Amino acid sequence: MAASGLESSVGAQVSCSKTVAESDVLLFAGITGDFSPNHIDEAAMAKTAYGGRIAHGALLVGYMSRASTLIGDRCPELMATHYPVSSGYDRVRFLKGVRIGDTVTINYVIASTDTAKSRTIANVEMKNQSGELVAAATHIMTWIART
């Protein structure tokens, strides 16, 4: 059965910002085991086009996930009867390096629905403090009935 209010959620949007801290990158490296010099070796990365360490792409997707948790506030009719669960990200692209100290803003917009699967499909864009697009993705959210 299609989620009540699913169609009315199209156009709902939310944005949030996060400054990438060194602790974010180092803790993420420890949690995942991804100790690539890209993320932990400032001296090596200073000699690249990035000019220093960059955040893990998967960490950036984590920041996108934060935005997806806020969308329920913009869909009260749907939230009254359903609970959102992420079904994944498609077409994830990392377009520009995100440096430690950069502030990224994530804009999350529900673009369409799949009523047969009780899903919303959102466009997600991440921009840095200069307004440059640094990452983008499509997010699929499944809305499960509350019991």
Residue 2 has pLDDT above 60, yes or no: no
Give the model's confidence band at 4: pLDDT under 50 very low, under 70 low, under 90 confident, else very high. low
Residue 100 has pLDDT above 60, yes or no: yes
User: Domain holding 84: CATH number?
Assistant: 3.10.129.10
Tell me if 117 is assigned to some domain: yes
**β pairing state of 82-94 and 103-114:** unpaired
Work out how many domains the chain is built from and give that number: 1
Q: Where are the alpha helices (DSSP H) in 1-147?
A: 22-32, 37-40, 42-45, 57-70, 76-81
CA separation for the pair 76, 74 (Å, rounded): 6
Tell me if 19 is assigned to some domain: yes
Distances, alpha carbon 138 to alpha carbons 13, 55, 124, in Å: 14, 20, 6
Q: Which of 91, 86, 116, 90 is nearest to 6 (CA)?
A: 116
Tell me if 1 is assigned to some domain: no
Structural domain containing residue 87: 7-145
pLDDT at 8: 87
